[in-house]
């Protein structure tokens, strides 16, 4: 299967996936030709694959809808400030990488805990199609646990929004993981 066909399959799977209590991207007004809106700027099918817990929560998506519809991400949140530092360290741009969540629905609130069974169901239905032969960098323990559950070879790195160390400390650790992957 080609990468484009695998990506199309992942998009179709994301559109079909539902779990009670979680809005879909379409229900929130973010359906598009991507698996996750962040891929509008970070969707390189051959680039390094970074997987984190989720894309965004429903209230934040609604509050920042105009910005998110333009770029697919919020540049001023810690997650993206750290990712931008990672890219500078690696001399890459967002267009050079692929970012996706393991959980492809919107959470009900910021920093929601996603039950492991829900994250696994989402990855099994959708995320496995996004691997395309790449060794993912698991950004944070939540994504690392999902990948480990499915015996997916990956490199663990801190979540960009983790409350450990400085932005630079986290960016250096993630850059090392991207190089290793």
Question: How many residues in the chain?
Answer: 181
Q: Is 7 helix (H, G, I), strand (E, B) or coil?
A: helix
pLDDT one-digit tens code per residue, 76-120: 999 999 999 999 999 999 999 999 999 999 999 887 889 999 999
Q: What is d(CA 52, CA 127) in angstroms, rounded to the nearest whole number?
A: 11
pTM over 0.75: yes
Closest CA to 7 of 31, 41, 43, 50: 43
- The answer to whether 109 and 59 are in contact (CB under 8 A) is yes
Q: Compute the distance between CA of residue 97 and CA of residue 149 in angstroms, rounded to an integer.
A: 24
Confidence grade of residue 121 (pLDDT, cut at 50, 70, 90): very high
Percent of the chain with pLDDT over 90: 95
Strand, helix or coil for residue 168: helix
Structure tokens that stand for 124 in this block: 């099994």
- The pLDDT assigned to 172 comes to 98
3-state secondary structure of 50: strand
């Amino acid at each position: 299967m080609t990468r484009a066909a695998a990506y199309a399959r992942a998009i179709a799977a994301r559109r079909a996936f539902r779990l009670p209590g979680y809005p879909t991207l379409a229900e929130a007004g973010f359906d598009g030709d991507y698996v996750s809106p962040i891929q509008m700027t970070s969707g390189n099918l051959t680039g390094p694959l970074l997987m984190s817990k989720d894309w965004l929560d429903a209230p934040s998506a609604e509050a920042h809808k105009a910005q998110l519809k333009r770029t697919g991400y919020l540049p001023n949140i810690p997650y993206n400030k750290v990712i931008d530092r990672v890219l500078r360290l690696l001399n890459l741009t967002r267009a050079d990488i692929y970012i996706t969540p393991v959980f492809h629905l919107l959470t009900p609130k910021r920093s929601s805990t996603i039950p492991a069974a829900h994250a696994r169901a989402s990855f099994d239905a959708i995320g496995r199609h996004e691997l395309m032969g790449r060794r993912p960098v698991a950004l944070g323990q939540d994504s690392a646990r999902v990948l480990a559950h499915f015996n997916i070879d990956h490199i663990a790195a801190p979540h960009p929004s983790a409350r450990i160390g400085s932005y630079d400390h986290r960016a250096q650790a993630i850059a090392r993981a991207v190089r290793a992957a």
